[in-house]
Amino acid sequence: MAVKQAAKAVQARKRGKAALSFEAGLVDYLVREHFHGDSGEFARHTGYSKQQIEYWRAGSKKPQKSTLRWLLSATIAPEFRVAVEFEPIDIVGRNEISKVLREALNGHEKNTGVYAFYDSMCNVLYVGKASTGFGQEMYQQLRAPLGIGFPRAVTNAPSERWMAVKYISAYEIPKVDHLDYPKHVESLVLRLSKPVGNKVLGTLKRSAPPRER
């Protein structure tokens, strides 16, 4: 009953019958703009109950300042998630790359973010950004030339990345407005680790405000 009353209060404010407080207006905006107006989805994402969200949207209860900051952060700030980390892979032939990657990524093939390749001692060989999905872009980069020189005395030196890569990591990084955040993170990691397989470090760009029409 309380949830229905809160929902009716939200609808009444939308029809202009009551003025939203700043707190109620902010919560209502986050729900509408980022969660398609679904209080339940917003509740699951932020860790509160749907009833509590409806109270805040209706203005019948007021969230604390620290709660508002959390709601904003949880909604807008990008949060990294580990897809796989230091996952061992064993590729014995070029035609097995796709199969081995699919098993290692374990359902995260189509997710996007930043990934890394490591050698047998877990030294970083290459860091890249996956814009179209980890599976496709990691597959392409594993087939690329290793790009590392070896002394002439070394026989059967690996010539492609898949021959040297023994571990992989992949981190999901959501996109944000006005900035290619995965690219931003990739550039930072490249500057910190300077992998031997990366020839370009990228650029760290500042975000820019949108132009008003």
pLDDT of the residue at 178: 74
pLDDT of the residue at 11: 60
What mean pLDDT, rounded, does the chain reach?
A: 88
pLDDT value at 3 more than 50: no
pLDDT value at 14 more than 80: no
Q: Which residue has the tokens 């209860």?
A: 61
Whole-angstrom CA distances from 31 to 10, 110, 204, 209 are: 12, 27, 32, 23
pLDDT value at 18 more than 70: no
Tell me the pLDDT band of 10, cut-offs 50, 70 and 90: low
Report percent pLDDT > 70 for the chain: 91
Structure tokens given for 14: 């939308």
Tell me the pLDDT band of 30, cut-offs 50, 70 and 90: very high
Return d(Cα 62, Cα 79) in angstroms, integer: 26
pLDDT of the residue at 12: 56
pLDDT of the residue at 81: 92
What mean pLDDT is predicted for residues 44-65? 94
What mean pLDDT is predicted for residues 24-42? 95
pLDDT of the residue at 77: 82
pLDDT of the residue at 1: 45
What mean pLDDT is predicted for residues 111-132? 95
pLDDT value at 179 more than 90: no
What mean pLDDT is predicted for residues 77-104? 94
Number of neighbouring beta carbons within 10 Å of residue 6: 23
pLDDT value at 2 more than 50: no
What mean pLDDT is predicted for residues 5-25? 66
pLDDT value at 149 more than 90: no
Domain 81-193, CATH class in plain words: alpha beta
Side-chain-facing half-sphere of 133: CA atoms under 13 Å: 11
Span(s) in the chain for CATH 3.40.1440: 81-193
- For residue 25, report the phi and psi dihedrals to the nearest 5 degrees: -65, -40
Alpha helices by DSSP H, 77-198:
97-105, 134-142, 161-164, 181-193
